[in-house]
Amino acid sequence: MKKLIGLAAAGAMLVALAGCASEGGGAAAESGPKPLDELVVGFAQVGAESGWRTANTKDIQAAFEEAGIELKFSDAQQKQENQIKAIRSYIQQQVDVIAFSPVVETGWDAVLNEAKAAGIPVVLTDRAVDSKDESLYVSFLGSDFVKEGEKAGQWVLDEYADATEPVEIIQLEGTTGAAPAIDRAEGFAEVISENPNLEVVASQTGDFTRAGGKQVTEALLKSNPGVDLIYAHNDDMGLGAIEAIEAAGLKPGEDIKIVTVDAVKDGMQALADGKINFIVECSPLLGKQLIEIIKQINDGETPQKRIITEETTFTQEQAIEALPDRQY
């Protein structure tokens, strides 16, 4: 009987170890940690669509440089098929870890299963994937986008607390299908639903770009001349909206209020100048935390499954104070 219990326990341990290996870090656990200068990491970036993204790329590249870890970097130009190609090439090159920020939420299971079968741990940075199988990635490091949308909604709710007439809102959405576009819309809608006077009269994607924000605002101002507020899912689209509002002979921040997400330098400057009214911060500085996760994987440790970035919000006064020290 004792022998049987012993065998069962040994079997359970093997199953548990196999589970750990399939969640990533298996190779490291078997052969011991590699020296950092022998590690190779493949990073598949979304693109260069915004000031936020540029800051994120720079921060990641600087963190790898400082840690002495080799980084293979690719820019998918906001196309999922390019990211999938990049990930497949990292699998072929047998890198030690793959990290990526998924351009959209769905459609990753096949390529992530290929990485898993090759024993290469995957770390998600910035954006999530929508998959039932959480074993396809080791850790997800990034913001709580729903909370960001809620914070934007809360400012609008407070600003129009005494409104007795309908408040017309235009929403500039991020890339269709991307986690921050879905979640920021959800959080915002949930909070503003507390006041029936707050109404999103139009909502369209500007693809997280300044040009997209400008173009969509130009068109939507024509069909919604009574608009009171624009909620843009990022600073860049808000900055594009400012251009469109000024071109229409109106004053951004006064005739039409603007709320955005990110808090990159250009956005903060517009907030300080009174052209944007409120910004919810989304930090692009993920490089150092990503390196920590990679080191844990290399040491055979299990990183935290979800790491949420710490973030704040900015009013005009706070932007004026923060601007001189803003890194990005």
Say whether 234 sits in a helix, a strand or coil: coil
282 near ligand AHR, rule: CB under 6 A: yes
* Strand-pair partners of 257: 229
CB-CB neighbours of 318 under 10 Å: 17
Measured in Å, how far apart are the chain's first and last C-alpha atoms? Answer: 65
Q: In the complex with ligand AHR, which residue's Cβ is closer, 91 or 259?
A: 259
45, 205, 234, 298: which one binds ligand AHR (CB under 6 A): 234
Question: Residue 235 CB, nearest distance to ligand AHR (Å)?
Answer: 7
Q: Do residues 61 and 71 touch, judged by C-beta distance below 8 A?
A: yes
Measure the CA–CA gap between 324 and 201, rounded to whole angstroms: 37
Candidate segments 37-45, 50-58, 163-171, 288-296, binder of ligand AHR by CB under 6 A: 50-58
Q: In the complex with ligand AHR, which residue's Cβ is closer, 91 or 99?
A: 99
Dihedral sign for Cα atoms in the order 209, 215, 217, 220: negative
Helix H or strand E segment including 230? strand 229-232
126 near ligand AHR, rule: CB under 6 A: yes
Measure the CA–CA gap between 219 and 86, rounded to whole angstroms: 36
Residues 189-218 contacting ligand AHR, CB under 6 A: 208
Residues 53-92 contacting ligand AHR, CB under 6 A: 53
173 near ligand AHR, rule: CB under 6 A: no
26, 153, 180, 287: which one binds ligand AHR (CB under 6 A): 180
Q: In the complex with ligand AHR, which residue's Cβ is closer, 212 or 252?
A: 212
Candidate segments 18-26, 44-52, 159-167, 313-321, binder of ligand AHR by CB under 6 A: 44-52
One-letter amino acid of 266: D
262 near ligand AHR, rule: CB under 6 A: yes
49 near ligand AHR, rule: CB under 6 A: yes
Helix, strand counts (H, E) of the chain: 12, 12
Candidate segments 47-55, 132-140, 220-228, 285-293, binder of ligand AHR by CB under 6 A: 47-55
Question: Residue 50 CB, nearest distance to ligand AHR (Å)?
Answer: 4
On the CB side of 75, CA atoms within 13 Å amount to 12
25, 28, 43, 52: which one binds ligand AHR (CB under 6 A): 52
127 near ligand AHR, rule: CB under 6 A: yes
Q: Which residue has 């009574």 as its token pair? A: 226
Q: Which residue has 């104070």 as its token pair? A: 321
CB-CB neighbours of 229 under 10 Å: 20
Candidate segments 49-57, 61-69, 293-301, 312-320, binder of ligand AHR by CB under 6 A: 49-57
Output DSSP code: residue 257.
Answer: E
H helix intervals, 131-247: 145-159, 179-192, 210-223, 235-247
281 near ligand AHR, rule: CB under 6 A: no
100 near ligand AHR, rule: CB under 6 A: no
45 near ligand AHR, rule: CB under 6 A: no
| Burial annotation 102-129 (CB, 10 A radius, 16+ → b, else e) | bbbbebbeebbeebbeeebbbbbbbbbb
84, 202, 261, 294: which one binds ligand AHR (CB under 6 A): 261
Measure the CA–CA gap between 152 and 141, rounded to whole angstroms: 22
Residues that bind ligand AHR (CB under 6 A): 49-50, 52-53, 126-127, 180, 208, 234, 236, 261-262, 282
